Amino acid sequence: MKKQYVFKSILRSKMKNYLAFRRKQGYKTEELNRVLFNLDEYLVSQNIDSFPIGYETIENWVNQNAERISNRSLCAYISHYKGFRDYLSLYNIDLIDIEAPLFKNNYEAYVFSEEEINSLIDTAEALYCETKKDYWAIFAILIRLLYSTGLRISEALNLTVNDVDLQKNVITVQSSKDDKGRIVPFESSLGEILRLYISNCLKSEWLFSVRKNKPYTPRRAQQIFEQLLIASGIKEHMPESNSPKGYSVHCLRHTFAVHSFRKMTNSGMDMYDQMPVLSVYMGHKNILGTELYIHSAQASDDDIMKLMEDFNKGLFPEVGLTDENNTIQ
């Protein structure tokens, strides 16, 4: 049962209206509800009952939260606060702007070569033939999908058969990281593989399902991925990860971005014109998120790094699709 939030501060009516406004836009508002309620409680505790609301009040609210939550969570709090602040400006209510703190991201990416991607797929299929364990065959399909579309692992695992249109060769992502759905086209070669897979192998409404008609969890996918890195021999050639969690299946999304970038620039596409398309395709809020993926290129990818020196102003190219060999164009 969801917690019921009762707002009592001087901003109570605006908070309720803002939540309703965001819901009408199609956003999930549970986290926003918590943040606004936290702010509401603080304003009440400080006996703030008139405008303007002073700089120190908001600053102290932020500092209080900084002592109890992580920097990442604090960034989310401030992001919600900024949205609410913009909404209040429509009513001539001014609150101070707050900058989000910098935080360290322990995630570390590895960009696979095309040969390594093919090796992962071949190894998974070989392990299926050897062991007859379904998850190896399923994972071979999952790798193709992730590499060919750049989907997040959570997005891929939440796909149902109805989300895949094999007539139009598009996938409908119902809900993503930012609670926004999107349409993701794919190449016909991947469509043929999915057609065979759905027709002959699928026994569930979920595209990647375990026996109990439930989708694989990201954690289980990560476990299989780690086994596959070892079995394929790729693990021993990868540099040591500085992250305590090591390299994750999310690296396939980074690989998609970097390989797409390389193939598009090699084809003579204008990076500045095409960047927003790749950003939308990958479901990023803006092109800065996509830029971080391109920066994940290995030091050996000199062509990418040289291009990034000239392109670090913030615009990127259109996404590529798979060719008949299931590699990104």
* pLDDT tens-digit profile, the chain (329 residues): 567 889 999 999 999 999 999 999 888 888 999 999 999 999 999 999 999 999 899 999 999 998 888 777 888 888 899 999 999 999 999 998 887 665 555 567 888 999 999 999 999 999 999 999 989 999 999 999 999 998 989 899 999 999 999 999 999 988 655 556 788 888 889 999 999 999 887 878 899 988 777 889 999 999 999 999 999 999 999 988 877 677 889 899 888 888 887 777 777 776 656 666 677 667 766 655 666 666 555 444 555 545 544 443 333 333 333 444 444 33
pLDDT digits (tens, 9 = 90+) for 72-110: 788 888 889 999 999 999 999 999 888 766 555 556 788
Place of tokens 């259109």: 318
Tokens encoding 6:
């009762």
Q: What is the pLDDT of residue 200?
A: 84
Distance of alpha carbon 258 from alpha carbon 119, whole angstroms: 18
- pLDDT of 142 reads 95
Tell me phi and psi for residue 4, to 5 degrees.
-95, 125
Six-digit token string for 280: 């939308």
What's the pLDDT at 322? Answer: 41
Q: What is the pLDDT of residue 327?
A: 40
Task: Spell out the residues 6+ positions from residue 61 whose beta carbon is closer than 8 angstroms to its own.
Answer: 38, 39, 42, 43
- 277 close to 317: Cβ distance less than 8 angstroms: yes
Nearest-angstrom CA–CA distance, 42 and 48: 9
Query: Three-state SS for 160?
Result: strand
pLDDT in tens, 168-203: 999 998 865 555 678 888 888 999 999 999 988 787
pTM beyond 0.85: the answer is no
Question: Which of 230, 225, 320, 323 lies closest to 278 in space, CA to CA?
Answer: 320
Tell me the C-alpha distance between 5 and 94, whole Å: 24
Which of 284, 278, 279, 287 shows the shortest CA–CA distance to 314? 287
Contacts of 259 (CB under 8 A, 6+ apart): 111, 114, 320, 327, 328
CB 287 within 8 A of CB 316: yes
Contact 99, 71 (CB under 8 A): no
Alpha carbons 106 and 151: distance in angstroms, whole number: 21
- Residues in Cβ contact with 278 at an 8 Å cutoff, skipping those fewer than 6 apart: 257, 260, 261, 290, 316, 317, 318, 319
Q: Give 3-state DSSP helix, strand, coil % of the chain, rounded to 5.
A: 55, 5, 40
- Please tell me whether residue 121 adopts helix, strand or coil conformation: helix
Strands of the sheet containing 182-185, edge to edge, are 164-165, 170-173, 182-185
Tokens of 155: 């997005």
DSSP structure class, residue 31? H
CA–CA gap between residue 301 and residue 194 (Å, rounded): 31
